[in-house]
Structures are given as C-alpha cells and as structure tokens.
Amino acid sequence: MSWIHKGEIERVRQSEMATEKLPSRLEAAPDVSSNTSQKLYLHVDMDAFFASVEERDNPSLKGRPIAVGGSVDGLKGIVTAANYPARKFGLKAGMTAIEAKRRCPQIIFVHLDARKYTYASAQIMDLLESFSPDLRILSVDEASLEISGIIRRYGSPAAVGQAVKDAIISRCNLPSTVGIATNRLTAKVAADTSKPNGLRYLIPGSEAAYLAPLPVSKMCGIGPATEASLAKFGIKTLGELANASEDMFRLKFGVVGPALIQMARGQYAGRMAHDDARGTDEKSMGHERTFGAPILDRAELRGWVVALSEMIARRVRTAAMVGRVLTMKLRYNDFETLHHQSVIPEPTDDEEMLILQGWKLLDQCWQQGRPVRLLGLSLGSLIPKVESIHQMNLFIGNQVFRREALYKALDSLKDKFGEKIILRAMGHSQRVRRDLISFGKSPK
C-alpha cells in the first residue's frame, strides 16, 4: 500500500501497516535503517503551544477562540499566542488586545502563566533528549533531533516520528507536529507545512519535489525583501528557485545566491548547517566592528554597544543558549587593544541586560578622547537555555517570560521581514546600512 502527496510516493510494508497508526499527512517511509551513512533529522514544533497548555488545563476552552496575554476585558496588553480557532480571525502573536477583540468579539483572553509553560517546555525537552542525545533546542516550543542512530530500534523514520508525538501526548497531553528530512532546515519546512498535529517524512532524494510547488516565502530565511528580489527574475516558487543558475545568482546576490538555490533543492540547511558544523561546544558568540574612521564620540560608541548587543542576543536566542560572561574588545587607533569582562548575575539572552553591561564595560575600558578603531562584544560561558529554566526565580518568572515573549515576536518579525524591520533607536543610527557591521566573527 502507498500514500501519495503531491507526486511523492511512499511504500510501507504490510507488517508496518499492522503495527503503526499512520496519520493522513504521512509521506514516504521506506526502511532506511540499514543505511548508516544517511543522516536524518526530526523537527518537533508544538502546536499553538501556550494556548494548547491552557486548553489542556481548562477543557472548557477547547474549540473556542482564545488568546494568551492581554487583559481579560481586551482593553490593554499584547497577544502572546492564539489557538487555531482564533487564528481563523487573523489573530497572531504581537497583536494588541484591542485589535484582537475587534477582529474576534468572542475572543477569550487568558492570563499568561510563565511557570506553567516553562514547566511544560522542560518536560518536553527532557522527553526528546531521551530519544536522541543530539538535541538542538530552537525555542521554548521547537527542537531538532538527529535520529539516524535510532531508526532500527523503531523500524522506520515514520515510526520514530509517531513515537515522539505519542510520547508528548502521553506525558504532557499536548499536540505537536513533526517533520523528518535529510537536513534540519528541510525538516522544519516539512513540519511548518503539516500543521496542526501532522507528521511528514520526506524520503532522501524527494526533498526537491516536495519543496518545488511551495512559494519561496515558505523557506526560512526568505523574507519579503528577498521574495520581491526573486520575483523580478520571475521566481515565485521554490521549484523555480531550485532550477535557477548558481553562477547568475552569485553575480546578483553574492555568496547568498547559490545558498538560496541549494536550500530550495533541500540540499543545504543554511544557518542550521553552520550550527552543526560549529558543534555543541562553542563557548561564546560575538560580533565586532572595525570603523572606517576612528570614533571619539561617547554617544556614538554607546550606540554601537546597542547595535552589537542586539545582534548577539538574537544570535544566542536563535541557538537556544544563554550566557553569563560579557567581554568587550576595544582597539585604539594606535592598535593598542584592551579586553574587559563582566559577569552577569544570571545566564541571559536578554539584549537589555547586555546593553547595560556593555555600557558599563565601555566606561571601564575606554579612555575618553582616544579614537577607537574597533569595538567588539561577545557573550561567553554559554549553556543551553533549557538548563537555565530550572534556575529561574519563580518570583520574577512572569516578568522574564513576558520579555521573552516580546523577543520571540520581534525575532519572528525579523525572520520574515529582515533585520532592519525593527531596531532600537540608538542602534539604528549605527546600522543605517546593513553592510556596516560584519556578521559573525571577524578574522583576527
């Protein structure tokens, strides 16, 4: 028997049919357990996580449009999350409660409970780690696992995916969607296009065919600006992008051009691939900037601290890490170079904390009046964020969680519309042009 979806065919042995309950969205699942050289990645994305936790704890909310966050009367506050019935009315994270109430008069506002979501997330991540030690926590409700080594135990990649979903239901009673593919990025797209409560496995070699009919906006990393640029070349689908000339795209887009094409073919995982290459033992993340003209103005240097802190915090949040040691690197015009460090009380990915600590370091490090040629910041002593969850002060948990919800909404905006869609005013003046700051570590 086979399941067919958009040209993809999966043959599943009759013996598996008798033992597995396979969802309707299930794609291609041949037995690849004997292929030890082929890596497979499983992406887990919890469905409307905060709202689902509230529905679980109050079954009377099921099937009714609810929004987590905002005041009960809907007159103030911001929506942090909305369930699927509410999303039909256009409700989404980051929307004001007043706008949510206008779009959906029957919306039910539920108070945000940080401790509850934190506990559920910790349970889920702990459970996922029991499946595979190669767990990458991407956010409070998303994670990626390398599952090649456990396929034989379960019989097929599809069975692994179903086992993960069943385990989350059994332990936490929460719905999830799973995507499985040969790289982390394609697995994420498979999950994103299978929500809610779906399971999709793309057999090795079928990725390009599955991605082909999807609009380019479905690929993580392609925002409206890039989408508009691609449209000028008549490219609207990932299939059209996959068939583009790498040489032409290199000329038009630089090194990013061929990478976009490889991502559309399901051959490259973008930033996630760099995370794999870097490994799990990276101890710091940072950015630095060499100035074309040395800077003598304190306000301008403080603005650069803001810009660098925003970039570091976003990068650390993307990696689901937190850090405690902030290091400033400052080089004067005569090439004298100083390094100063500050130990933050609690591990953090909060850019406001980094900005305040960075300003203190600047005051300690910089001799006023001396021209600065280079300024850099890095956050060290990194640990996975899930480990710091257990150390959270419950008395400030809600406050921390509200700020994290805000950063998640801002990160989502930047993922969709580019880094410059929203910036702090002090940092914006230093980042009028994107090429002013080198992303990643500069060569020494």
Catalytic residues: 142
Tell me how far apart the alpha carbons of residues 338 and 327 are, in angstroms, rounded to a whole number: 10
Q: Which two tokens stand for residue 42?
A: 């499983």
Question: Look-up: residue for tokens 């595979």?
Answer: 132
107 in Cβ contact with 66 (< 8 Å): yes
Q: Which residue has the tokens 């021209």?
A: 371
Integer CA distances (angstroms), 151 to 38, 138, 163, 223, in order:
11, 23, 11, 35
Omega prior to 196 cis, within 30 of 0? yes
Alpha carbon distance 104, 119 (integer Å) = 30
**Of residues 367, 61, 47, the one with CA closest to residue 192:** 47
Q: Where are the beta strands (DSSP E) in 56-168?
A: 66-68, 81-82, 108-110, 135-139, 142-146
Q: Which residues of 87-100 are buried (b: 16+ CB within 10 A; e: fewer)?
A: bebebebebebeeb
Structure tokens at 371: 């021209």
**What would the DSSP string read from start to end of 352-379?**
HHHHHHHHHHHHHH--TTSPEEEEEEEE
Instruction: Give the CA count within 13 Å in the CB-facing half-sphere of 431.
Output: 25
Nearest C-alpha neighbor of 371 from the set 301, 275, 434: 301
6 burial class (0-12, 13-18, 19+ CB within 10 angstroms)? exposed
Extract the tokens encoding 139: 């956010």
Tokens of 378: 């890095």
The two tokens of residue 407 are 């950063």
Residue 60 CB-density burial (10 A; 0-12 exposed, 13-18 middle, 19+ buried): exposed
What's the Rg (C-alpha) of the chain? 23
Q: For residues 89 and 87, what is the distance between their CA atoms, to the nearest angstrom?
A: 5
